[in-house]
Amino acid sequence: MGLTDTPRWLPCQYLYDAKGSALFEEITRQPEYYPTRTEAGILERHAADIRDATGPVSLIELGSGSSVKTSHLLSAYAKAGGPVTYVPVDVSAAALERARARIGRLHPTVRVDGIVGRYDEAFPRFRRHSPAMVLFLGSTIGNFNHGESVSFWQRVSRELAPGDYFLLGADLVKDVSVLEAAYNDAAGITAAFTLNVFARMNRELGAGIDLDRLEHVARYNEDWQRVEIFARFNSKQTVRIEPLDSAVEIAAGEMVMVEISRKFLLRDLTSHLATFGFAVRQVYTDDRRWFGLLLLQKEES
Ligand SMILES: C[S@@+](CC[C@H](N)C(=O)[O-])C[C@H]1O[C@@H](n2cnc3c(N)ncnc32)[C@H](O)[C@@H]1O
288 is a domain residue: yes
Question: With a 6 A CB cut-off, is 184 part of the ligand 1 pocket?
Answer: no
Question: Within a 10 A sphere around the Cβ of 151, how many other Cβ atoms?
Answer: 12
Q: Give the CATH number, domain containing residue 119.
A: 3.40.50.150
Q: pTM of the full predicted structure?
A: 0.94
- Is pLDDT above 50 for 81? yes
Question: With a 6 A CB cut-off, is 37 part of the ligand 1 pocket?
Answer: no
Q: Both 251 and 270 in a single domain? A: no
CA 157 to centroid of ligand 1, rounded, Å? 20
* pLDDT score recorded for residue 8: 40
Q: Both 160 and 83 in a single domain? A: yes
199 is a domain residue: yes
Q: Both 273 and 231 in a single domain? A: no
Distance (Å) of CA 117 to CA 16, 17, 90:
12, 12, 6
CA 19 to centroid of ligand 1, rounded, Å? 13
- Is pLDDT above 70 for 35? yes
CA 214 to chain centre: 25
Summarize pLDDT for 160-202 with one digit per residue, the tens.
999 999 999 999 999 999 999 999 999 999 999 999 999 999 9
The band of 300, judged by pLDDT with boundaries at 50, 70 and 90, is confident
Q: What sign has the CA pseudo-torsion 163, 167, 45, 220?
A: negative
Share of the chain above pLDDT 70, in %: 96
Atom number of ligand 1 nearest to Cα 61 = 6
- Is pLDDT above 80 for 13? no
* pLDDT score recorded for residue 10: 58
What's the total number of domains in the chain? 2
Q: Both 37 and 149 in a single domain? A: yes
Query: Side chain identity at 83, as an amino acid letter?
Result: P
145 is a domain residue: yes
Q: Give the H or E element holding residue 49.
A: helix 34-54
As a whole number, the mean pLDDT across the chain is: 94
47 is a domain residue: yes
Query: Of 63, 202, 79, 78, whose CA–CA distance to 139 is shortest?
Result: 63
19 is a domain residue: no
CB 65 within 8 A of CB 89: no
Q: Both 66 and 107 in a single domain? A: yes
Q: Residue 130 is part of which domain span?
A: 33-174+263-298
113 is a domain residue: yes
The band of 6, judged by pLDDT with boundaries at 50, 70 and 90, is very low
Quote the Cα angle for 117-44-21, to 5°.
Answer: 30
Q: Both 162 and 183 in a single domain? A: no
247 is a domain residue: yes
Q: 81 or 5, which is more confident? A: 81
**Atom 21 in ligand 1: which residue has the minimum CA distance?**
118
Query: Of 36, 42, 44, 114, whose CA–CA distance to 76 is shortest?
Result: 44
Q: Both 137 and 195 in a single domain? A: no
Mean pLDDT of 139-166: 96
CA 26 to centroid of ligand 1, rounded, Å? 14
Question: With a 6 A CB cut-off, is 65 part of the ligand 1 pocket?
Answer: yes
Question: With a 6 A CB cut-off, is 35 part of the ligand 1 pocket?
Answer: no
Share of the chain above pLDDT 90, in %: 91
- Is pLDDT above 80 for 2? no
- Is pLDDT above 60 for 51? yes
What are the φ/ψ torsions at residue 300 (nearest 5 degrees)?
Answer: -60, 140
CA 288 to centroid of ligand 1, rounded, Å? 25
Query: Of 144, 136, 207, 170, whose CA–CA distance to 284 is shortest?
Result: 170
Q: Both 39 and 131 in a single domain? A: yes
* pLDDT score recorded for residue 209: 97
* pLDDT score recorded for residue 213: 97
Q: Both 163 and 241 in a single domain? A: no
The band of 12, judged by pLDDT with boundaries at 50, 70 and 90, is low
Q: Both 244 and 268 in a single domain? A: no
- Is pLDDT above 60 for 220? yes
Atom number of ligand 1 nearest to Cα 120 = 20
What are the φ/ψ torsions at residue 148 (nearest 5 degrees)?
Answer: -65, -40
126-140 as b/e, with b when 16 or more CB fall inside 10 Å? beebbebbbbbbbbb
Atom number of ligand 1 nearest to Cα 64 = 6
138 is a domain residue: yes
- The strand order across the sheet containing 214-221 reads 214-221, 226-233, 255-262
* pLDDT score recorded for residue 11: 60
- Is pLDDT above 60 for 5? no
* pLDDT score recorded for residue 18: 86
User: DSSP secondary-structure letter at 173?
Assistant: P
* DSSP codes of every residue in 89-110: EES-HHHHHHHHHHHHHH-TTE
Q: Both 66 and 183 in a single domain? A: no
Q: Both 279 and 205 in a single domain? A: no
- Is pLDDT above 90 for 14? no
